A and B are shown apart, each in its own frame.
Chain A
Amino acid sequence: MSSKTVEPVSETPVNYLNASFGLRSWLLTIDHKRIALLYLVTITLFFFVGGVFALLIRLELLTPRGDLFTAETYNKLFTMHGLIMIFFFLIPAVPAVLGNFLVPLMIGARDLAFPRINLLSYYIYAVGGTFTMYSVVAGGVDTGWTFYTPYSSTYSNTHVTAMVIGIFITGFSSILTGLNFIVTIHKMRAPGLTWFRLPLFLWSIYATSIIMILGTPSVAMALALVAMERLLHIGIFDPRLGGDPLLFQHLFWFYSHPAVYIMILPGMGIVSEIVPCFSRKRIFGYSFVAFSSLAIAVLGFLVWGHHMFVAGQSIYAGIIFSALSFLVAIPSAVKVFNWTATLYKGSVSFATPMLYALGFIGLFTIGGLTGLVLATLGLDIHVHDTYFVIAHFHYIMVGGMVMAYLGGIHFWWPKITGRLYPDSWGRLAAAIIFIGFNLTFFPQFIVGYLGMPRRYHVYPPEFQVLNVFSTAGASILGVGYLLPLLYLFWSLKYGAKSPANPWDATGLEWMAPSPPPTQNFPVTPLVAWEAYEYEKREVPVA
């Protein structure tokens, strides 16, 4: 981790990066900004491990025959791709990295409410990750990331128990992070910073935290029950012992559908920061964007049964879940319309973060609308468990969340590191990622609609052309993801020094120096303005 510290130049003022040195000062830090960087490094590691699995999947699917891996190995590859990407990258990425870094800065506080719990949550995440990596190295898991019973609980001979323990442990990291954010946002806002003056990023982080603390216990218990069923045969899910296999799907999706909003809500928060900044306009309909985050957090918990339409769930429950799923599209659409209205008549510029934000809006919309297709009872019977589903949720998670995450990393990079990156490289990478992404996943909508099922390593030859497109796109996407890694690293040493507010943005975090000192603000700021006052840009710059 110490390799990330910028070396001290004599005239550099003291900041959180050069305040102390040595591995110990990083690994035992209780500074929210350093903890954010610990997470950044670990999460990036997991992202590339999960990415390698994805690349192997796409290589196998280059040809219709199963010529690269056996069916069993292929099952393990897509399982571990899903598990690592979801539980160790997508869910923690924005809250644990950008949330940790920004929440105290955005509210004018010195740190989170519980700095030690914050460090603890990092180590819990690391311990959970270790169990998971052990399971991967020991031979992997083949249940799919969904762990459906009775296969996971009774039949699979792979390392399910270690994997389940890893995810169970990591869940506590998520809960503690959410708890920390909720208390911090309630209790530690600077004087004058009322709820309706908060940046929208914080509303979405707050809504995300609610999902984390109310949803995570459910999946943790469901997975613990799987482990107990494997070890002790207690008969919760095994029908021979009086259990109900569908109960697992209920408990699992009760968390795992809202988990999609844990991934996407913070992304929406990032976009709500970037769009006004690069349109030089106040956000359109602040309170609608704010409350739609809370609406998503609540409604998101009432729709999980749309994953079970063809699983044997009662048709009447299916009707209820289908209708509720349509309802949750409304707050998401509110956000998309409000961002678009913010662009209207703004003076829009296209720096790297803005390219990612615009990419997010388009790709998230495609992902969301195809979600409505899947929430329709009759249509879902046709496309259930096909590549249509794969394409849909990758448009949300990769096209949406990863785009927003990269947009956020680029937006706040000057604040985090004190350095500017080359914007032309940034825009090039954003374009490559956008093209690679669409080339990878758009063909999957078509091939899925034509009937190609997910989770098989062989497929009929007539689907090959579309799969070749998809694999080609994946390699472009891979290059696109490597580029930021390279030039962002480069900027740590060679990038120009960043001023406190390189984007001329509103928001308290931009009033602190770049990079901020350990205590963030020398004096607690007094807030007497709304968020996003871009039109009357008179916000004092400290």
Chain B
Amino acid sequence: MTHAASPRTYVIVLLALLALTVVTTVVAHIDLGPGNSAVAMLIAVVKMLLVMLFFMHIRYEARLTRLFAGAGLLWLLFMIGLVMADVLSRNWR
């Protein structure tokens, strides 16, 4: 468990997050049709991964810690997946 990265890495990640926030805001003013949510979601996922890997140290942690973080992600997929099973099929006949 070598701990954490240099302050330099943190600054770069922070700048990346801020840049992505700007991108999200700018893209929100362009109409991409169905692509609107897709792009917003994509950027959100990238930001989430940056936070998890660097700020939450997942990248530098032991296997067991990663397993539990992965379980958290899997549980999120359970939630989104089964909620979508309801929302998307509500109007099927």
Closest to B90 in A: A314
Q: Is the CB of B89 within 8 A of A314?
A: yes
Find the B residue at minimum CB distance from A303.
B82
In contact, B86 and A250 (Cβ under 8 angstroms): yes
The interface centre, meaning the residue of B68, B72, B86, B88 with most chain A CB atoms within 10 A of its CB, is B86
Measured in the bound complex, the distance between the Cα atoms of B13 and A363 in whole Å is 55
Q: Mark A311-353, 1 if CB is under 8 A from B, else 0.
A: 0111111001100000000000000000000000000000000
Is B85's beta carbon under 8 Å from chain A? yes
**Which of chain B's residues has its CB closest to A302's CB?**
B78
Query: Residues of B contacting A214 with CB < 8 Å?
Result: 71-72, 75
Nearest B residue to A244 via CB reads B87
Pick 11 A–B contacts, CB within 8 A, sort by A.
A214-B71, A218-B79, A246-B86, A301-B78, A308-B86, A313-B86, A314-B88, A314-B90, A317-B86, A317-B89, A320-B82
Q: Which B residues lie within 8 Å of A215 (CB)?
A: 75
- Any chain A CB within 8 A of the CB of B11? no
Chain A residues with CB under 8 Å of chain B are 182, 186, 210, 214-215, 218, 244, 246-247, 250-251, 254, 301-302, 304-305, 308, 312-317, 320-321
B86 and A302 contacting across the interface, CB-CB below 8 Å: no
Q: Is the CB of B86 within 8 A of A314?
A: yes
Residues of B within 8 A of A186 (CB): 64
Cβ-closest chain B residue relative to A214 = B75
From 41 to 93 in chain B, residues with beta carbon under 8 angstroms from any chain A beta carbon are 64, 68, 71-72, 75, 78-79, 82-83, 85-90, 92
Judge whether A254 and B79 touch: CB under 8 Å. yes
- In whole angstroms, how far apart are the Cα atoms of A298 and B78 in the complex? 10
Please, how many angstroms separate the alpha-carbon atoms of A320 and B64 in the complex? 32
Best-surrounded residue of A218, A308, A316 (most CB of chain B within 10 A): A316
Q: Is the CB of A316 within 8 A of B89?
A: yes
User: Which of A186, A308, A317 is packed against the most chain B CB atoms within 10 Å?
Assistant: A317
Min C-beta distance of A413 to chain B, whole Å: 35
Please give the distance in Å from A308's CB to the nearest CB on chain B: 8
